[in-house]
């Protein structure tokens, strides 16, 4: 299976925060077929650690995706939804969704018709005000009673339908939803295959609920307090910290929560030169990773965040597929030094 084929297998799976079981099962089965075992903790993190006791180094990539959550069920059967994680209302647009009830139900994220001058319509409201999540609703064709009988209630997760999860190729790039962090899970799997037995002081953790505050990483790191946490992330192409969409990994020197030490930044620069990589260093004005969130809570001493250069973060993301292998290669070299 190529890296892109592995990525496609992962992006087709839904994994909203707090309901990542399909992604976790895939990781477990993939590694088990290669003779590597792991365990799942109470938070839903999937952990591969060949050593005993608490690890000194933790490498994370998160399993969850930005999604929606049902806020209320209207009497006419419309579902009012809000974001679960950093999902701006305009990032996905109208289209098919799946409601993760007792059995998944199809639905359509909607904003209403435009052939009207009624002030009650979104079409008129948006002329003077931006749309908000209060303007969004999901149509299912079912009554409120039928939805309730099927287990739809406030708290039910809503995700993009499988029909919207196929990757596309654009020249040397690949595009799709949820490359953050499924592409990093590809790098994580490559790394685990190569390094899990070689580095008993390292725990490889596929984390849950990262998109809602790094909850999975905070839970795991609170129990173990490693010296180093390395988070595999995206490297967003933004105006104040631009990157080239090539196969060269990025390094977050800081974000909204923490900064890497100057010594670790110098170490990564040296490793990049040694590996023949032209690393892209980013000082981000917004964002956070498992590592930086953990450092801000005093749960690791050395936060390091490595990324895949990516456009349209938290939307239909684009990246160079060769970056996944290079990110794994850089991280493996880093594990030799930390």
- Looking at the predicted structure, is the pLDDT value of residue 265 above 90? yes
Q: List the domains of the chain with CATH numbers.
A: 3-65+178-335 (3.40.630.10), 67-163 (2.40.30.40)
- The reported pLDDT for the residue numbered 198 is 92
What Å distances lie between residue 290 and 12, 15, 160, 192, 211, CA to CA?
A: 23, 17, 24, 18, 9
- Residue 57 is predicted with a pLDDT of 98
- What pLDDT score does 161 carry? 98
Quick: pLDDT tens for 40-53: 999 999 999 999 99
174: left (phi over 0), alpha (psi -120 to 50) or beta: beta
pLDDT band for position 37 (cuts 50, 70, 90): very high
> 326 vs 121, 186, 217, CA distance in Å?
49, 11, 24
At residue 123, the pLDDT reads 85
Reported as a single tens digit per residue, the pLDDT across 105-161 is 999 999 999 899 998 888 888 888 888 999 999 999 999 999 999 999 999 999 999
Under the banding of pLDDT at 50, 70 and 90, the label for residue 296 is: very high
What pLDDT, on the 0 to 100 scale, is given for residue 131? 86
Which pLDDT belongs to residue 167? 98
CA distance 282 to 19: 31
Q: What pTM was computed for the model?
A: 0.96
Is residue 208 classed exposed, middle or buried when 0-12, 13-18 and 19+ CB atoms within 10 A define those classes?
A: buried
Indicate the Cα dihedral angle 214, 157, 206, 91, nearest 10°.
-70
pLDDT confidence of residue 60 = 98
- What's the chain's average pLDDT? 96
pLDDT digits (tens, 9 = 90+) for 178-232: 999 999 999 999 999 999 999 999 999 999 999 999 999 999 999 999 999 999 9
9 has pLDDT over 90: yes
pLDDT in tens, 237-246: 999 999 999 9
pLDDT of residue 125: 87
- Cα–Cα distance for residue pair 70/77, rounded to 1 Å: 12
Average pLDDT of the segment spanning 55-71:
98
Instruction: State residue 263's pLDDT score.
Output: 98
């Amino acid at each position: 299976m190529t890296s892109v084929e592995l990525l496609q297998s992962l992006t087709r799976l839904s994994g909203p925060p707090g309901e990542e079981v399909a992604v976790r099962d895939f990781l477990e089965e993939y590694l088990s077929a290669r003779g590597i075992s792991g365990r799942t903790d109470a938070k839903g993190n999937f952990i591969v650690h060949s050593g005993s006791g608490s690890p000194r180094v933790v490498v994370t990539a998160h399993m969850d995706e930005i999604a929606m959550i049902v806020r209320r069920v209207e009497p006419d059967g419309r579902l009012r939804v809000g974001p679960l994680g950093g999902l701006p209302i305009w990032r996905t647009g109208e289209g098919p969704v799946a409601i993760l009830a007792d059995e998944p139900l199809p639905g359509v994220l909607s904003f209403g018709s435009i052939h009207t001058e009624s002030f009650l319509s979104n079409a008129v409201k948006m002329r003077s005000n931006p749309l908000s999540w209060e303007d969004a609703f999901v149509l299912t064709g079912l009554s409120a009673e039928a939805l309730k009988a099927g287990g739809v209630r406030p708290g039910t997760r809503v995700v993009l339908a499988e029909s919207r999860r196929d990757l596309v190729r654009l020249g040397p790039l690949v595009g799709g939803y949820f490359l953050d962090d499924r592409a990093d899970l590809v790098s994580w799997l490559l790394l685990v295959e190569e390094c899990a037995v070689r580095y008993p002081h390292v725990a490889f953790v596929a984390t849950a609920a990262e998109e809602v505050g790094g909850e999975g990483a905070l839970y795991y790191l609170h129990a173990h307090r490693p010296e180093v946490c390395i988070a595999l992330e995206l490297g967003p192409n933004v105006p104040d910290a631009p990157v080239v969409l090539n196969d060269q990994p990025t390094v977050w020197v800081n974000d909204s929560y923490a900064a890497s030490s100057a010594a670790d930044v110098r170490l990564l620069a040296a490793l990049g030169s040694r590996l023949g990589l032209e690393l892209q260093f980013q000082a981000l004005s917004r964002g956070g990773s498992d590592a930086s969130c953990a450092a801000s809570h005093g749960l690791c001493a050395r936060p390091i965040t490595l990324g895949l250069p990516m456009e349209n973060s938290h939307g239909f993301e684009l990246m160079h597929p060769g970056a996944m292998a290079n990110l794994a290669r850089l991280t493996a070299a880093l594990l030799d030094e930390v």
